[in-house]
Amino acid sequence: MLFLLRLFFHCPYLRNFMLAGAVTCLLFLQFTGTSVFANPLEKHPPNGTLSVQAASVEQQLGANTAETSPGTVNGMDEKQQFLQQHLEQLYFETEERVGGEPIYTTGYLLDLYRKNQFNLLWDNPASIDQLLKAIYASADEGLTPEDYHLEALIRYGHDDEEETAELRQVEYDLLLSDAMLLLAHHKRDGKVDPRKVEDKKNLEPATPRPWPVDTFLSAIKNSTVQAVLDKLSPHHPSYLNLKKALHDYRQIAARGVWRHIPAGQSLKPGMTDPRVVLVRKRLAVTGELAGRSLDSSYYDRQLETAVKTFQTRHHLEPDGVIGKATLRAMNITAEERIDQIRVNLERTRWVVNDLPHSNLIVDIAGFMLQYYHNNELVWKSKVMVGKPYHQTPVFRSAITYLVLNPTWTPTPDIVKNETVPSIINDPDYLAKQRMRVLDSSGNEIDPVTIPWRQYYGKVLPYTLRQDPGRDNSLGLIKFLFPNPYHVYLHDTPTKFLFGRTQRAFSHGCIRVQNPLELARLMLANDPGNPTTVRKIDQILASGKTTTVILKQPLPVYLMYLTTNVQDGQVMFKPDLYNRDEGVVAALNAPPSPLSLTVQLPEAKGGLSMSNQQVRIGKTVRYVQNQPRESSQVVQDTL
């Protein structure tokens, strides 16, 4: 014994090791209440069993003061332990299903039940009834009720088995919670991950949306589940109008009166053709043609007016001639139109809850631009967008500055594929277009000295720049907003193209019909901006290239909407870039598991973590929110 004491005092490493072991034992006693010196004959649980001692610190501390009964461990009864164990197995992927049903909101569920001390939540029948009603009603928004465990919940609700009552009760509770959380997410943010179905998609909110765990707990306990879920659905007029359109077209489909019209020669006013009868009945279904005389095969003036109305509603040239395009639109089935409306309800969910009070919305498929100020539509204009092989991307940004009397620098692809061939065919092309040739140092080069044929189909080692002026490809003004696609709004000298119904003519940028009107409105609504309307006119008259910085950047949304409602009329637009099919397939597919993003609290000790997030899904990832660079090198794609 004396030897051990001497060794303890004269060997610091051994002394530190023994002290650390003692502290560990004391801490173990403090937080678990378990004897450190356990009976060596006592049986221990198998290694594969998950410990229920991973509860929150609050629960562990509370277990020290709570009276324990034979059916409790650390203050938790068997049902709580089973529920916690089940959630941990789901979270750490040792299980993926509950009662044969896939679980989609694992991270949310773990957080939800932890806040409720791992007690069951759904002991109020009224809350269950409200959830089931909300699930059924999800179809009215283009969602699929079966995605939310509908059949399983009905089965569990009628289950009277006594032998597995406790297990079934836990499973039922988890499925109810999973259904509610998944439906809440889909109603607020959409079911489909837009990054998987939209080209160059970036419509995510700038900051993570909050996870209102306390709101959901309160809703379940106070029987306000349906009210909370209804509140999460968008209430923007555009969304409500599409909901009504979906209801109307489902009624049309239920009547089964949508008949196919055979192909043939174009039908024009004054003609007699048996197919005219089918056209009359087709237009009567969707309301373009009124009246009882639907059996006439003569194409009269009344029918011509109805056909033009149909063509306008479907973004076709309203010429009254039933050609291939018009006949194709008439033969799209009611079921296909229902899917088209569902797709655009989903696209609206992606952004509508985050729309600021003032913004610009570019409707790519509808070739329109709308300017909202303080939630009111104050201005709109026709636009041209990218050709199908130069698609205008879908994203959000904010206009930060304007350029009056801009120059135009075509991209290398435009130079290689269009400009150089034009120069080879016409040596005076550059002079006619008022374009200069610059070297890498910005020095002007005489174009006569350049062997243009040598660069046919190759990248030109020079920069071409068009001088400002009304005939400049960008017109008199361009509007810049940060994005990785080199896309912006601008004027154009080819105003006559705005007379077309289909206006996909650009290389990806958005050409605006009346851009100077937009600039004057934007600057008038930009408090503190010294650039007045009079100043704009002076700058334009000078011909000098001038940049005007906005005091308050104006959010801009480039959206691809193939259906909307205008003045009570459902407008169907051609799927210009063939993007609807992917969204329909994703809407009809099983849901994807959700990940949970929460803000970390401010750290003590001077270390700020306010810009950090933790994303909780099947794996835990830490994400640092870095400020985005607003500067960009602008390339002109037109």
User: What is the C-alpha to C-alpha distance for residues 464 and 454, in angstroms, rounded to an integer?
Assistant: 17
Query: Hey, is 32 helix, strand or coil?
Result: helix
Q: Within 10 A of 21 (CB to CB), how many other CB atoms are there?
A: 10
User: What is the C-alpha to C-alpha distance for residues 89 and 48, in angstroms, rounded to an integer?
Assistant: 11
Q: Report whether 573 contacts 562 (CB < 8 A).
A: yes
Q: Is 373 a catalytic residue?
A: no
Q: Within 10 A of 44 (CB to CB), how many other CB atoms are there?
A: 7
CB neighbour list of residue 249: distance below 8 Å, 6 or more residues apart: 334, 337, 338, 341, 570
User: What is the C-alpha to C-alpha distance for residues 263 and 599, in angstroms, rounded to an integer?
Assistant: 59
User: What is the C-alpha to C-alpha distance for residues 455 and 55, in angstroms, rounded to an integer?
Assistant: 70
Q: Is 509 a catalytic residue?
A: yes
CB neighbour list of residue 455: distance below 8 Å, 6 or more residues apart: 416, 420, 461
Q: Report whether 580 contacts 70 (CB < 8 A).
A: no
Q: Within 10 A of 420 (CB to CB), how many other CB atoms are there?
A: 23
> What pairs with residue 616 in β-bridges?
596, 620
User: What is the C-alpha to C-alpha distance for residues 300 and 345, in angstroms, rounded to an integer?
Assistant: 37
Output DSSP code: residue 349: H
CB neighbour list of residue 498: distance below 8 Å, 6 or more residues apart: 382, 384, 513
Q: How many residues does the chain have?
A: 638
Q: Report whether 198 contacts 586 (CB < 8 A).
A: no
Q: What are phi and psi of 512, to 5 degrees?
A: -105, 135
Amino acid code (one letter) for 522: M
Catalytic residue among 86, 314, 315, 490: 490
Structure tokens at 107: 């991270």
Of 462, 457, 413, 419, whose CA–CA distance to 437 is shortest?
462
Amino acid code (one letter) for 220: I
User: What is the C-alpha to C-alpha distance for residues 420 and 454, in angstroms, rounded to an integer?
Assistant: 10
Residue 559 burial (C-beta neighbours within 10 Å; 0-12, 13-18, 19+): buried
Of 468, 488, 467, whose CA–CA distance to 476 is shortest?
468
Of 357, 360, 377, 358, whose CA–CA distance to 480 is shortest?
360
Amino acid code (one letter) for 84: Q
How are beta strands 489-490 and 76-77 bridged, if at all? unpaired
Catalytic residues, by residue number, are 490, 509
